[in-house]
Structure 1
Amino acid sequence: MAFTRLVQGAAFAVAATIGFGIAPALAGTIEIHNTMGTGGSEEAALVKFQELIKDKLGDDFEVNIYLNSQLGSEAEVLELLNIGQTQMALTGGAFMGQYAAEYNAVSVPFVLPNWESVEHYIMDTESGKKMQELARERGNLVYLGPQKRAFRHMTSNKAIHTPDDLEGLPMRMPKIPVWIDVWEQLGIQAVVIPSSDIYLAMRTGQVQAHENSLASPYTRQMWEVQKFIITTSHLSFPWHWVASAQWWDGLTDEQRTAISEAVAEARQYGTQVETEKDSFYRDALIEKGMEFIDVDQAPFREKAAPAIERAMSGMAPTVADDIKASIAASSK
């Protein structure tokens, strides 16, 4: 029943776009989806992809970009990709937990310390390649590569220098069990509230801290309710370029090569834009009066270790060695 409602909902969404003059997917059309709005590195990468496809394949394909969850949530678009009802997405990490949880070390805080190690783990290790295989076997997704999302830090209205400073701190957390477990191991009091309520919760004192990339305190004007940004750099939750296997398998070798090359260029461009924006946010937040505390991550990782070990205990045997290899490769 839920699946029927999903397909009906997708059909309604497509019908609605027709009413606004946007044609549904036909042969030669690439619909590509993302849940974010305009102005971010996500849109920049998708527009670059659109331009590259035009250069590489001429009029063979028309790329239609859908931002801000226009044709559904991340989960709904994954299902549309699964059944071949749309072509591509720049999606979050939900599919890894859904289709390849035993290789999903990327989603555990304090495991991979920088973007290079994240990218290496996904693209170059046995575990990352197995994750890609399972995404196809279980979700009919062709994996085309990760794109950087800036590392997440924490904000607080009290100075945090060591994990001991976190004890009892009411901190907003998203409803992601492994994240909550890790941060509670660090001593915080987790408060799960919707992201739309973060500012109000801080203003009223319901929470005194939160974690996210620097885009969050900047776009939410948190300098009005928070004083400190603590650079824990605990997680990068990257975007992923994926395609529907049903659609992909119907393309020619030449088309698949051109699209793969366009994705590789676009995701590197998006990563560059994300890095530039993250630097801009830091400068802008300092200008607004927020104080950055650059902490040593090692004591935080050490105190969080029992929760990290719990999260990793169900992982495949190759994961631990592949994490070490990725960290080593990123430090060269």
Structure 2
Amino acid sequence: MKKLGIVLALFLVFGSILAACGKKEETVSKETTASKDKSYTIKLANYYAPDHPQNVALLEKFKPLVEEKSGGTLKVEIFENNKLGGEKDFYTAVRNGTVEMGLPGMIMQADVPKMGVIEWPFLLNDFNHAKTVLDGPIGKELTDELAAKHGVHPLVWSANGFRMVSSSKEVASMADFKGLRLRMPNTPVFVKLGQLLGANVSPMPLSEVFTALEQKVVDGQDNPIGVVKSSGFYEVQSHILESRHGFTPNILIINQKFWDKLSDKQRKAIEEAAKEYSDFEWKLSEESYEADKKFLKEKGMKFITPDDKFKKQMADAVQPIYEDYYKEYPWAKEMVEKIKETGK
């Protein structure tokens, strides 16, 4: 009996040792699995100046959160202010995979026309309307073809803002647009918009605008006032027309092949960080308007706020854009109606 007790005791001790070893092996196994995630450095390119809300949000939210949530397996390097080339250059690089991530505007709309709808003139009422549209089913529909056609995976929408005209002379009526040499982005909707307003349009990338204004190649340009501030256009411009003639978003994208080779944990880290960056950036962009306006006024810029009559004249002048697109794209009218309905 005594021997049996000793055997049982030894059996229990041996069993405990085996169980402990099993748990240790399980823990080591989990740790080993976690550590199997390959490490990557992500290059993220954009065209904004360092103090623009986009780069503030990328630096304060996206970069640290990705690095933290990925357990240090992902590092983010932000290349702002066209350091990796203008929008077309870095967007092509993300498509090719030589740059992992980018923050373009709607440059892809030439091949994915639905992406451009959000910039059509006088379509969105305010920031809340824009965010509701882009963060909902419509925003997803706009990006449905992006991966298949361009090989980039869309993550989140963010805000550049409502576009206005800054110029070296006053633009306070439709007559003032006549003969105005106006820089516009090299996208059909903005080129047409400027022409319908009566301006002589010069399409060019953002990276060339300051020099063109300084050398008086153009009299004015259109952008949200955050860009006027961060890009220093106030040094070579005197007036801003608060036309709010269109809204421009940005979209955070990642090369699809790079995305596919990330682990589930790494993809989740990027998605969660992107969401927090986006919410923060929308808030910064909206709240910064009055501060940017105050700053620009202190720099000597004069603001012209159009009355209802002038606003209507501008909106009526650009209606042919809608008529042309309705004829060209069967989905266009329904899409515009859905966007308008969301704003009611």
| TM beyond 0.5 | yes
Match of 1:144 among 136, 155, 175: 155
1:59-117 per-position Cα deviation (integer Å, ceiling 9, x unaligned): 2222222223334443343334334444322222212333x124421233333343333
SS at match of 1:39: coil
Instruction: Give CA-to-partner distance per residue, 1:153-178, whole Å, 9 cap, x none.
Output: 11345544443443343434344333
Once the two structures are TM-superposed, the CA of residue 182 in structure 1 deviates from its matched residue by: 1.6
The equivalent position to 2:108 in structure 1, one of 63, 80, 95, is: 95
**Aligned pairs for 1:78-117 within 5 A:** 78-98=91-111, 100-117=112-129
Q: Give 2:297's match in structure 1, choosing from 271, 276, 286.
A: 286
Deviation of 1:142 after TM superposition, in Å, equals: 1.1
Give the aligned residue type for 2:201.
A
| Residues 1:69 and 2:82 are matched in the alignment | yes
Give yes or no for contact 2:182–2:201 (8 Å, CA) kept in 1. yes
Identity of aligned residues (%): 23
Q: Which runs of 4+ in 1 moved over 6 A?
A: none
Distance in structure 2 (CA, Å) of the matches to 1:112 and 1:197 = 31
Q: Note the aligned Cα RMSD (angstroms).
A: 2.9
Give me the whole-angstrom Cα distance separating, in 2, the residues matched to 1:275 and 1:215: 10
TM-score for both structures, normalised by structure 2:
0.75
Describe the shift of the 1:54–1:198 C-alpha distance in structure 2 as closer, same or farther (beyond 3 A): same
Q: Which residue, 27, 39, 42 being the options, matches 1:30?
A: 42
Write out aligned runs for 1:58-207 (5 A). Answer: 58-98=71-111, 100-126=112-138, 128-156=139-167, 159-192=170-203, 194-202=208-216, 207=218
CA distance in 1 between counterparts of 2:82 and 2:237 reads 30
What residue is the counterpart of 2:12 in the other structure?
Answer: none
Bigger shift: residues 262-271 or 49-58: 49-58
**1:183 deviation in Å?**
1.9
Residue identity in the other structure for 1:180: V
Q: Which residue of 2 aligns with 1:330?
A: 343
Tell me the alpha carbon deviations over residues 230-259 of structure 1, each in whole angstroms, 9 at most, x when there is no partner: 111012222211111112222333332232
Residue 315 of structure 1 is aligned with which of 324, 329, 336? 329
CA contact (8 A) 2:47 2:82 kept: yes
Offset of 1:123 from its aligned partner? 3.6
Aligned residues: 300
Select between 293-302 and 117-126 the one with higher mean Cα deviation: 117-126
Distance in 2 separating the partners of 1:258 and 1:78: 23
- Structure 2, unaligned runs of 5 or more: 1-37
Which of 312, 333, 339 is the equivalent residue of 1:298? 312
Relative to 1, partners in 2 of residues 1:62 and 1:176: Cα closer, same or farther, differing over 3 Å? closer
Q: Does structure 1 retain, via aligned residues, the 8 Å contact 2:125–2:343?
A: no
1:36-55 matches, within 5 Å, as 36-47=48-59, 48-55=61-68
Partners of 2:67 and 2:41 lie apart in 1 by 12
**Range moving further from structure 2, 284-293 or 45-54:** 284-293
Cα distance in 2 for residues equivalent to 1:27 and 1:145: 23
Q: CA separation of 1:103/1:80 partners in 2, compared to 1, >3 Å: closer, same or farther?
A: closer
Aligned to 2:252: 241
CA distance in 2, matches of 1:53, 1:223: 35
* Higher-Rg member (1/2): 2
SS of alignment partner, residue 280 of structure 1 = helix
- Structure 1 residues 184 and 45, CA, compared in 2 at 3 Å: closer, same or farther? same
Q: TM-score, normalised by structure 1?
A: 0.78
Shift of 1:134: 0.8
Deviation at residue 41 of structure 1 after TM alignment: 1.7
Alignment partner, residue 5 of structure 1: none
Counterpart-to-counterpart distance in 1, 2:166 and 2:84? 33
Deviations 1:274-294 (A, max 9, x none): 234332220122233333222
The one-letter code sitting in structure 2 at the alignment partner of 1:266 is Y
Gapped runs of 5+ residues in structure 1?
Answer: 1-25
Residues 248/304 of structure 1: CA separation in 2 closer, same or farther (3 Å cut):
same
Question: How has the CA–CA distance of structure 1 residues 35 and 211 changed in structure 2, closer, same or farther, with 3 Å as cutoff?
Answer: closer
Matched, 1:253 2:264: yes
Task: Give the stretch that moved more between structures: 219-228 or 151-160.
Answer: 219-228
Secondary structure of the 1:63 match is strand
